[in-house]
Structure 1
Amino acid sequence: MESLDILSQTVGKQLQDAEQILVTAESCTGGAVAALITDVAGSSQWFERAFVTYSNEAKQTMIGVQKATLEAYGAVSEPVVQEMAAGALVASNGTIAVAISGIAGPGGGTAQKPVGTVCFAWQDTSGWQCVSTQHFQGDRREVRAQAVCFALQTLSDYLEKNKE
């Protein structure tokens, strides 16, 4: 867990240096990214709010995910997390967002989307967008921990690459 603590501190410094304000939209991780970020002292300087949108209804009412998108692709899909990230930015004062939706298990998987499938989207107000689908191994706790790590590491990589 220490590596996640170090990663969240690094991301916090990077967000502060970049004058970015993070907002999260989380489903399968249940707010774990937000919790890890806010464990860092001073996080109010770079973290605005979190949306834990575990149900499809919450995704629709809190951050504007379209019912048609959910019906066409399912909650665990790149189109849905893209709408989650965009909606989180619209519904907040954030400047950069991460969205996560997945199947942490032990049930809920299918042949097309097995347990461990997690979709991610990142977006900022400058127009940058990134989406990714990952397939993690392990039990529910391990899948969720890997998802949090991947979300923060990708954000860190982007911020590092785009330093001014």
Structure 2
Amino acid sequence: MKRSKFLMCLGIGFASAVSLTSCTERWKSPMKEARHGGRKLSDDEQMGIIARVWGDQPQHPNLAYQALCIIRYESDGWTEVENTNSDGTVDIGLFQINSANWNMCGGKQKLKDPVSNAMCARDIWRMAGEKWTPWRAWTHPHYDGSPPCSVTNPD
């Protein structure tokens, strides 16, 4: 899909005849049953949250694409996914917010709400200089072998 058509699909206005399913098919990744938690958000719901939380970001034209990729890799759209890391910390929710950040984001229970989780992700993204580097999905291949989000970013 050409970048302009893709960005129209993922754009803040979402005014496109192209279905979100076709836009996001590339990142579908099967999550292990044990990882599921809460409910799985539809593509439309995920894109709505991204638009609501980040708003218009003309200086970051690929932001919606990148945020969707992070969600796909981290939680596959499940709202209450919890994963324990090898260092004993725990990640939760759509963007898999690490327990080291829970207090600044209102606590574990609040992060089970997808909008609150995305707002926390936005704050972490901003603290990292408006970069996705705090997320493993940005720099490391996915468990299924697919490339990291930084590599799959549209040209």
TM-score range, shorter chain: under 0.3
- Calculate the TM-score normalised by the size of structure 2: 0.28
More strand by share: 1
